[in-house]
Amino acid sequence: MLTLLFVIAAGVVCTFAGDRYHPEQYMEPRTEPVGRLLRSSETTTQFWVEDAQAALRQRHTDGLRHRSGHARNVVMFLGDGMSVPTLTAARVLLGQRQGQTGEEANLAFDKFPTTGLVKTYCVNRQVADSACSATAYLCGVKGNAGTIGVNGAVPRHDCAASTDAARRVQSIAEWALADGRDAGIVTTTRITHASPAGVYGKTANRNWETDADVVNAGHDTERCPDLAHQMIHKHPGNKFKVIFGGGRRAFLPNTTRDEEGTRGRRTDDRNLIEEWQADKAARNVSYKYIWNRAELAELASSPPEYLLGLFEGTHMRYHMEADPSTEPTLAELTEVAIRSLSRNERGFFLFVEGGRIDHAHHDNFARLALDETIEMSKAVARAAELLDEEDSLIVVTADHAHVMAFNGYSPRGQDILGTNKDRDRNGVPYMTLSYTNGPGRRVQDANDMRVDVTQEDNFGALRWRSHVDFPLSSETHGGDDVAVFARGPHHAIFTGLYEQSHIPHRMAYAACIGPGLHACSAAHSLRGSLLAALMLLPTLVAALRSFF
Q: Which residue has the higher pLDDT, 528 or 409?
A: 409
44 and 90 fall within a common domain: yes
Q: What pLDDT does residue 440 have?
A: 85
Residue 91 lies in a domain: yes
Q: What pLDDT does residue 525 have?
A: 46
pLDDT mean over 292-311: 96
510 and 540 fall within a common domain: no
Tens-place pLDDT, residues 421-469: 888 888 888 999 999 999 987 767 666 667 777 767 777 777 877 778 8
Q: What pLDDT does residue 526 have?
A: 44
At 96, the amino acid letter reads Q
Residue 475 lies in a domain: no
pLDDT mean over 151-158: 98
489 and 548 fall within a common domain: no
Q: What pLDDT does residue 464 have?
A: 72
Residue 261 lies in a domain: yes
Euclidean distance between the first and the last CA atom of the chain, given in angstroms as a whole number: 95
Residue 244 lies in a domain: yes
Residue 452 lies in a domain: no
DSSP string, 503-541: HHHHHHHHHT-SSS--HHHHHHHHHHHHHHHHHHHHHHH
Residues 6+ apart with CB under 8 A from 543: none
Q: Is the pTM of this model over 0.85?
A: yes
Tens-place pLDDT, residues 52-67: 999 999 987 776 655 5
d(CA 174, CA 84) in angstroms, rounded, equals 30
Q: What pLDDT does residue 529 have?
A: 39
Tens-place pLDDT, residues 134-146: 999 999 999 999 9
What separation in angstroms does the CA of 449 have from each of 253, 425, 428, 429? 52, 9, 8, 11
Q: What pLDDT does residue 40 have?
A: 86
Residue 449 lies in a domain: no
389 and 532 fall within a common domain: no
Nearest to 123 by CA among 46, 41, 193: 41
Is 130 assigned a catalytic role? yes
CATH of residue 264's domain is: 3.40.720.10
Provide the pLDDT confidence category of residue 545 given band limits of 50, 70 and 90: low
d(CA 185, CA 173) in angstroms, rounded, equals 10
125 and 250 fall within a common domain: yes
Task: Of 15-29, 349-363, 449-463, give the lowest mean pLDDT range.
Answer: 15-29
Arithmetic mean of pLDDT over the chain: 90
Which residue segment(s) compose the domain that 239 sits in?
39-406+485-517
Would you list which residues are annotated within the binding site for Zn(2+)?
80, 353, 358, 362, 399-400, 477
Residue 374 lies in a domain: yes
Would you list which residues are annotated within the binding site for Mg(2+)?
80, 193, 195
Among candidate residues 41, 68, 83, 130, the one labeled active-site is 130
Provide the pLDDT confidence category of residue 11 given band limits of 50, 70 and 90: very low
Number of structural domains the chain divides into: 2
93 and 122 fall within a common domain: yes
Would you list which residues are annotated within the binding site?
80, 193, 195, 353, 358, 362, 399-400, 477
Tens-place pLDDT, residues 232-287: 999 999 999 999 999 999 999 999 999 999 999 999 999 999 999 999 999 999 99
SS3 366: helix
At 202, the amino acid letter reads K
Task: Of 18-22, 54-58, 260-264, 494-498, give the lowest mean pLDDT range.
Answer: 18-22
Answer positive or negative: Cα dihedral of 248, 249, 254, 259.
positive
- Region of 69 (left: φ > 0; alpha: ψ -120 to 50; beta: rest) is left
46 and 95 fall within a common domain: yes
Residue 24 lies in a domain: no
400 and 529 fall within a common domain: no
Pairing of strands 482-487, 477-478: unpaired
